[in-house]
Chains A and B, each alone.
Chain A
């Protein structure tokens, strides 16, 4: 098995998809000759040609809108948005069309595509390069949302997403694109959409996180053990829509306490939905209100403030303490 970081695992996943499925087409700004600004599509145009790995004009609504037409007409577009914060010009296309084609046409047409987008802050990039508006798309019926936190899941979820008969928003944690390497099989495999992963078992409290925040949460779990002796269970959601109810509820039923962590602003973030789910399904297991640790309810600031803005292990630990000491 090869050791790959997240970006390499994504490139490898795209290569497998392009190789195995002639319907797959990768398109976006700078994805061809340049191999993408993060090099996620490095070498793919040279290997598969400029009809299958396409540098498009600079127009997100055009990229996603054209992908709708392609998908409806039998292709499997995998459009890249250069940064998640540049999805906004395409929101109309996603909300009004990508997510609704199946429903609107009552199954006559479908819109399978995978929209890839690097998300989140922490790389000292300019404004709007660090947004985390995943909840906007979890709120949108008709589209699935996945967000891997490691190389293995990145490739497996990407291939599952490309196979999916439904449109999938595939969020890439850019801050940890190259942070570490894991064993990643070179052949095709998939990680099932809709399945969370308990990455660290524990008995005292459940931490739910995804993408970039997963490793930060693991760090906080370690601090909780060292400083308080608490055994924290850490759950990597992996799929944000649809949520893995069984794993989420199973964990909190065991521990009786929970904290949700995300980089996005706290208010109406995905954490709120998870709290509601726990209320619905596991209220009587709870020994304390479920905590939320999120970005502040202010726009992602310029980078001199981004370390204060996004949750770090200290802030997550503070959230754990509030719930444990309730």
Chain B
């Protein structure tokens, strides 16, 4: 392995070889996490799960370009970027296990809980960026959305605010071609999603979402620009989800299976980055095998942590509904305890 190469920026990117390897490691871990999560759902050990396989480059490339202090406003599919940004894997598992603890990013990790209603988190990203600007802080905000989400009013309102206020925000869209069963052609009459940005005076960038390096560079460019006070960017990362929308969905009902197969065999983001680091001579097949084994250990440990959790504390229904519990909730909590007990420990 050539160590000097790692210190230098690889050709045509802002990244060093070492950084590429780090991104690659994340992508493998995220994919392994994702596959295990799907299996856990199948065996009834977690609830409905939204798999991201195929979108690893978009997520890891994005997360890797951000700074610790930055804010993330994810959807239900952003496990990859959330973990890169500091949400523990076990927290993500807990979320899909229906546990309220799964909504809590650790102190100092600015990842907002998953927003299930489509596109509703985008105005939040705008507001968080606005606050950073007002406070003179160096943090930016990233709001995540899918291709389908660009049809919701909240998307357009967020884009418009971002443009008008010239905010340090990135709206990061993973265009995976489908909103559940609805293909992009039924979602919008524009050729691309990136071109929508122009209508709001926002810079729009379309990037190959299967190329982690390209995604990283696009996000890094947008983040640097935002930090310099030069305003928002909309990034469309063109990608694909290999599997169904969630474990409750069956993609074969609305998608040509050959299409998924084509993406998997010809445009796989992990294959692609692996080829690149192999070619740079900074990665080997032995290292690769060791990496998958390591990823398996990491994910397994996290699953065990999830399974070792005490049963959910019933009081969590009430305890965070207000800063101070009003009388009627205190009464209801008492009744709940008398009927069902407290559940597990906090």
Measured CA separation A55–B186 after assembly (Å) = 8
Q: Find chain A residues with CB under 8 A from B328 CB.
A: 267, 297
User: Which A residues from 89 to 141 make CB contacts under 8 A with B?
Assistant: 89, 124-129
Name the distance in Å between B313's Cβ and chain A's nearest Cβ: 9
Q: Find chain A residues with CB under 8 A from B336 CB.
A: 296, 308
**Interface check B181, CB cutoff 8 A:** yes
Chain B's closest residue to A296 (CB) is B332
Q: Interface centre among A85, A129, A305, by most B CB within 10 Å?
A: A305
Measured CA separation A266–B116 after assembly (Å) = 24
The 0/1 profile, CB within 8 Å of A marked 1, for residues 236-278 of chain B is 0000000000001100011000000000000000000000000
Name the distance in Å between B346's Cβ and chain A's nearest Cβ: 13
Chain A's closest residue to B309 (CB) is A304
Name the distance in Å between B91's Cβ and chain A's nearest Cβ: 13
**Interface check B98, CB cutoff 8 A:** yes
Measured CA separation A302–B182 after assembly (Å) = 27
Inter-subunit contact A125/B186 (CB<8 Å): no
Selected interface stretch from A28-36, A224-232, A240-248: A28-36
Q: Interface centre among A32, A301, A304, by most B CB within 10 Å?
A: A304
**Interface check B198, CB cutoff 8 A:** no
Selected interface stretch from B13-21, B57-65, B148-156, B161-169: B148-156
Name the distance in Å between A136's Cβ and chain B's nearest Cβ: 16
**Interface check B87, CB cutoff 8 A:** no
Q: Find chain B residues with CB under 8 A from A88 CB.
A: 117
Measured CA separation A193–B249 after assembly (Å) = 34
Q: Find chain B residues with CB under 8 A from A308 CB.
A: 314, 317, 336, 340, 343
Q: Find chain A residues with CB under 8 A from B98 CB.
A: 124, 302-306
The 0/1 profile, CB within 8 Å of A marked 1, for residues 129-157 of chain B is 00000000000000000001101111000
**Interface check A37, CB cutoff 8 A:** yes
**Interface check B291, CB cutoff 8 A:** no
Counted as pairs of residues, one from A and one from B, with CB atoms less than 8 Å apart, the total is 118
Question: How many B residues, CB 8 Å from partner?
Answer: 47
Measured CA separation A297–B329 after assembly (Å) = 7
Inter-subunit contact B152/A58 (CB<8 Å): yes
- Known contacts A29-B179, A296-B317; A126 and B97 CB within 8 A of each other: no
Chain B's closest residue to A299 (CB) is B321
Inter-subunit contact B48/A124 (CB<8 Å): yes
Selected interface stretch from B3-11, B28-36, B99-107, B216-224: B99-107
Main secondary structure of the interface of A (DSSP, over half): loop
**Interface check A298, CB cutoff 8 A:** yes
**Interface check B323, CB cutoff 8 A:** no
Measured CA separation A37–B253 after assembly (Å) = 11
- Known contacts A30-B180, A297-B332; A62 and B151 CB within 8 A of each other: yes
**Interface check A315, CB cutoff 8 A:** yes
Measured CA separation A267–B326 after assembly (Å) = 13
Q: Interface centre among B47, B103, B329, by most A CB within 10 Å?
A: B47
Partner of A298, one of B149, B181, B186, B318: B318
Q: Find chain A residues with CB under 8 A from B253 CB.
A: 33-35
**Interface check A170, CB cutoff 8 A:** no
Chain B interface (Cβ < 8 Å from any Cβ of A): 47-48, 76, 95, 97-100, 102-103, 114, 116-118, 120, 148-149, 151-154, 179-182, 186-188, 248-249, 253-254, 312, 314, 316-318, 321, 328-329, 332-333, 335-336, 339-340, 343
Other 4 A-B pairs with CB < 8 A, given A32-B181, A37-B180 = A58-B149, A125-B248, A296-B336, A305-B317
What are 25 A-to-B residue pairs whose CB atoms are below 8 Å?
Answer: A29-B179, A34-B253, A37-B248, A37-B249, A56-B186, A57-B187, A59-B153, A60-B152, A89-B117, A124-B47, A125-B48, A125-B248, A127-B116, A128-B117, A296-B332, A296-B336, A299-B321, A302-B100, A302-B102, A302-B103, A304-B97, A304-B98, A304-B99, A305-B312, A314-B339
